[in-house]
Amino acid sequence: MVVAPPNPARSEKLEPIELPVIDLSADRSEVSKLIVKACEQYGFFKAVHHGVSDDVIASMEEEGLGFFTKPVCEKQRAGPAGPFGYGIKSIGFNGDSGEVEYLLLHTNPSSISQLSHTISDDPKKFSSAVSSYIEAVKRLACEILDLMAEGLGVHDPSLLSNMIRDVDSDSMFRLNHYPPSSFHTQPPSHRATTTTEIGFGEHTDPQMLTILRSNDVGGLQICVAGGTWVPVTPDPTAFCINVGDVLQAMTNGRFMSVRHRALTNGYKYRMSMAYFGAPPPHAWLSVPPELVTPHRPLLYRPFTWAEYKKASYSLRLGDSRLQLFLK
């Protein structure tokens, strides 16, 4: 089982791991079992035959890369991120930083449309690409949450997915761009001893689940038992799905929200696109009664997403949040 300790050891030992690859077009009951098993053992899995069209993905990648290749002065028109908009190196509000530039957008269509005017020379095209992509991965996220609920034996299979279907869902979309490591852009006499740098530091995702897509460039790592960082093999044909803190709480600890990070990668840029499925701010988040037993008593007190989000923003990127909500 993958375990996310509160303060994992800073081991740099790299051992490859192949996450479970789940074919979403297979028999539904079998798929739901495989998803539950992957979320209990790894907190991560890869989804193939996911139903998101290549055209929708390609359009979003084109718009994202088009923005990141602009001169810095043009990109800064969309920032600083507070939290939405363009950010570079500075992550969040508490001093975290990394070798990354990013766009963070709320999934609300009017918010996307408004911010598009500072991001693109063709805001309608950009807004259309983002909205189409978000709608497609939101459908995927809802399908996966339904499969999770079915596999867990929750009485209402739409209990989880209804939270991100809600018109007031606080879901977000982030484009991350990681430049090649500065090791390769410096003269040999000025190079450090390491060939990689932290792009996005270790953290768990606070929301329910994340739907991640990246180009065929490595960099994502997860933290396994003992604090070892393990690279995840990139796969441009799949989406990488990971459990967030809210889902760990709502499954009474059966699913694991695992620490992960991103490193810069050698000579190539890496661009990732992450959809973070989140409940409405005032949604009451509690464990379904089917998941509380004498052998697995209630771990977390009920809370709202607004309460949890406030706690998340008050802490550093790598701080543990869920322990604040233990029963």
Active site residues: 270
Contacts of 26 (CB under 8 A, 6+ apart): none
Residues recorded for the chain: 327
List of E strands, 158-249: 172-178, 198-203, 209-214, 220-223, 229-231, 239-243
Structure tokens at 95: 């001093």
| 8 A C-beta contact, residue 36 and residue 151 | yes
Sort strands 239-243 and 260-263 into parallel, antiparallel or unpaired: unpaired
DSSP structure string for 244-285: -HHHHHHTTTSS----EEEE-BTTB-EEEEEEEE---TT-EE
By C-alpha distance, which of 272, 252, 277 is closest to 262?
272
